């Protein structure tokens, strides 16, 4: 059986990592895997990039044809329709298709959590630890326009990433909330499904091209396990009787996986079998380092990296019983302006500028928070009682002294309905100038000065300001992609 010293001899050292730390972390799992040598060599090889095509914005064949035209060669992921993998793709976020929201880059094995959750059209689902929102987006697409996703995140500095995903994907059925998932005061016993993609030590992400692997200190391991248990109990409290809770992590540690299920589930839920045809997995383990776990943890799935050439992942699908469970909630201290219904007038001004039939917009609801942004959402997507709402659908426009300024992703979303104030760029060089934030000289026949939708071929790129023979790019700085 290989041990830490063999890891050292074979040079299984992640760039810059303290050798003992890397080797010892993974050597402890060797008795759990079917092929220790294959496991260790998978950990040391680069991870393919994977992505899925956003059906709200692109047809898969059009997206693939574009990627092939820029030298990217995607292979379909056999077990997840619409997902693809690519080897050696260094900048998957640096294409026009990415900026236009045609695809989302997400680790292949992380897709399994939502497959296990199995969201159905029209359902109401909570994603308790949501940023950066890959799984939120998967769920939102599956529940569709009648469904609702509450995407909650505790870390303020990770909310913008979550919001950016919702906006870029063009999702109008998501409410983003800020709060600690352990105490978040959402209504209990009312949600069809709850996803807990828990914070963890992330051992399974070791193949990602990050600077170096650092084994989590023991204190952090203990803290995170206690957090995972509390979060799972809150997830169980939120789910309705008969509903589904999925618990997932991207770590190998049984202490953060089977042991958490064992400690948290009680009579409130049981781990049930689920299938993902076409994907290899190992069962959950029932004993580890002298501890034994409840027998149903065997129905969880462990995805070791060598089984499918992916990162490492753990997924358990839990069926909620009807045993009542209420966990502690805590009121939130953050005071933010509440979302309130917005007036139609600025929306109408926008509709007129861009030649959009007002009836096409009247099917949505518009919301205002503070006096800066106006948001658009589907009619059933409303502020929730008692929680801090940070996003309701997506921002449509910003109020400015020169009138309503459309937001980049809102223009992308509205693009198929836009009939006026459109600037078509002549070539790819002009498109790259625009997305990298540069102004350019340009005459657009029949376009009056003001805000415009900027397009290049099939891509709705975003908002520009046109006038006096110049097009100024209003691409937000965080999105600007530099050429090359």
Ligand X SMILES: C[S@@+](CC[C@H](N)C(=O)[O-])C[C@H]1O[C@@H](n2cnc3c(N)ncnc32)[C@H](O)[C@@H]1O
Q: Which residues define the annotated binding site for S-adenosyl-L-methionine?
A: 153, 180, 197
If one asks whether residue 130 binds ligand X (CB under 6 A), the answer comes out as yes
Task: Between 217 and 449, name the residue whose CB sits nearer to ligand X.
Answer: 217
Least distance from ligand X to the Cβ atom of residue 155, Å: 4
Least distance from ligand X to the Cβ atom of residue 227, Å: 6
In whole angstroms, give the CA distance from residue 446 to residue 292: 74
If one asks whether residue 255 binds ligand X (CB under 6 A), the answer comes out as no
User: Can you name the residues that pair with 176 across neighbouring β-strands?
Assistant: 151, 391
Return phi, psi of residue 385, to 5°.
-65, 135
Size, binding site for ligand X by CB under 6 A: 20
Residue ranges in 134-173 that form contacts with ligand X under rule CB under 6 A: 134-135, 152-155, 158
In whole angstroms, give the CA distance from residue 150 to residue 136: 8
In whole angstroms, give the CA distance from residue 104 to residue 85: 12
Binding map of ligand X across residues 175-194, x = CB under 6 A, - = no contact: -----xxx------------
If one asks whether residue 391 binds ligand X (CB under 6 A), the answer comes out as no
- Among 436, 412, 415, 451, smallest CA distance to 484 is for 436
Q: Is 7 a catalytic residue?
A: no
Task: Between 135 and 455, name the residue whose CB sits nearer to ligand X.
Answer: 135
The helix (run of H) or strand (run of E) holding residue 166 is helix 156-169
In whole angstroms, give the CA distance from residue 67 to residue 62: 9
Residue ranges in 419-448 that form contacts with ligand X under rule CB under 6 A: none
Beta strands in 164-321 (DSSP E): 174-178, 191-197, 239-249, 269-272, 282-283, 287-288, 291-292, 301-303, 313-320
Which of the stretches 6-14, 131-139, 166-174, 290-298 binds ligand X when contact is defined by CB under 6 A? 131-139
Catalytic residue (one of 63, 129, 250, 463): 250
Give CA angle at 359 (355, 364), nearest 5°.
105
In whole angstroms, give the CA distance from residue 247 to residue 258: 10
Render 255-267 in DSSP notation, one character per residue: GGTHHHHHHH-TT
Residue ranges in 218-237 that form contacts with ligand X under rule CB under 6 A: 227
User: Can you name the residues that pair with 238 across neighbouring β-strands?
Assistant: none
In whole angstroms, give the CA distance from residue 273 to residue 97: 38
Which of the stretches 35-43, 132-140, 278-286, 410-418 binds ligand X when contact is defined by CB under 6 A? 132-140
Residue ranges in 89-118 that form contacts with ligand X under rule CB under 6 A: 110
Residue ranges in 191-210 that form contacts with ligand X under rule CB under 6 A: 197, 199
Least distance from ligand X to the Cβ atom of residue 133, Å: 5
If one asks whether residue 131 binds ligand X (CB under 6 A), the answer comes out as yes
CA 279 to chain centre: 22
Regarding beta strands 148-153 and 124-127, do their DSSP bridges make them parallel or antiparallel, or are they unpaired?
parallel
CA dihedral in degrees (115, 116, 118, 119; nearest 10)? -90
Least distance from ligand X to the Cβ atom of residue 177, Å: 10
Task: Between 150 and 325, name the residue whose CB sits nearer to ligand X.
Answer: 150
Least distance from ligand X to the Cβ atom of residue 330, Å: 11
Task: Between 181 and 312, name the residue whose CB sits nearer to ligand X.
Answer: 181
The catalytic residue positions are 250
Residues at the interface with ligand X (CB under 6 A): 110, 128-135, 152-155, 158, 180-182, 197, 199, 227
């Amino acid at each position: 059986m290989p041990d830490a010293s063999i890891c050292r001899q074979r040079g299984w050292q992640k760039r810059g990592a303290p050798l003992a730390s890397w080797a010892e972390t993974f050597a402890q799992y060797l008795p759990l895997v079917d092929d220790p040598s294959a496991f260790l060599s998978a950990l040391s090889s680069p991870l393919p990039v994977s992505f899925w095509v956003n059906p709200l914005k692109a047809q898969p064949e059009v997206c693939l044809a574009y990627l092939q035209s820029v030298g990217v060669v995607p292979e379909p992921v056999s077990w997840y329709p619409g997902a693809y993998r690519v080897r050696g793709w260094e900048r998957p976020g640096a294409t026009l298709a990415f900026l236009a929201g045609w695809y989302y880059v997400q680790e292949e094995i992380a897709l399994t959590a939502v497959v296990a959750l199995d969201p159905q059209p029209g359902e109401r689902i909570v994603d308790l630890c949501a940023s950066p929102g890959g799984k939120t987006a998967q769920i939102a697409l599956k529940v569709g326009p009648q469904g609702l996703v509450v995407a909650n995140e505790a870390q303020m500095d990770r909310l913008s990433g979550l919001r950016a995903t919702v906006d870029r994907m063009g999702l109008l059925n998501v409410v983003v909330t800020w709060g600690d998932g352990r105490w978040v005061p959402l209504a209990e016993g009312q949600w069809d499904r709850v996803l807990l993609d828990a914070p963890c030590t992330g051992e399974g992400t070791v193949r990602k091209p990050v600077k170096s692997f650092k084994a989590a200190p023991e204190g952090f391991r203990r803290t995170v396990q206690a957090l995972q248990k509390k979060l799972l109990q809150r997830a169980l409290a939120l789910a309705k009787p008969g509903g589904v809770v999925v618990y997932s992590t991207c770590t190998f540690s049984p202490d953060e996986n089977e042991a958490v299920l064992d400690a948290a589930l009680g009579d409130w839920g049981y781990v049930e079998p689920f299938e993902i045809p076409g994907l290899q997995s190992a069962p959950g383990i029932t004993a580890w380092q002298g501890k034994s776990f409840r027998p149903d943890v065997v129905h969880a799935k462990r995805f070791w990296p060598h089984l499918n050439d992916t990162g490492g992942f753990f997924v358990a699908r839990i069926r909620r019983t009807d045993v009542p469970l209420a966990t502690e909630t805590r009121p939130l201290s953050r005071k933010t302006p509440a979302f309130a219904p917005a007036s139609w007038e600025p929306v109408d001004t926008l509709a007129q500028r861009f030649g959009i039939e007002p009836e096409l917009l009247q099917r949505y609801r518009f919301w205002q928070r503070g006096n800066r942004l106006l948001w658009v959402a589907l009619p059933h997507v409303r502020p929730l009682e008692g929680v801090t709402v940070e996003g309701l659908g997506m921002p449509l426009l910003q109020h400015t002294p020169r009138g309503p300024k459309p937001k980049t992703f809102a223009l992308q979303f509205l693009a198929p309905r836009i009939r006026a104030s459109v600037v078509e760029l002549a070539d790819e060089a002009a498109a790259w100038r625009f997305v990298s934030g540069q102004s350019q000289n340009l005459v657009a026949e029949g376009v009056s000065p003001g805000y415009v939708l900027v397009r290049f071929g099939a891509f709705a790129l975003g908002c520009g300001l046109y006038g006096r023979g110049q097009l100024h790019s209003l691409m937000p700085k965080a999105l600007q992609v530099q050429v090359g």
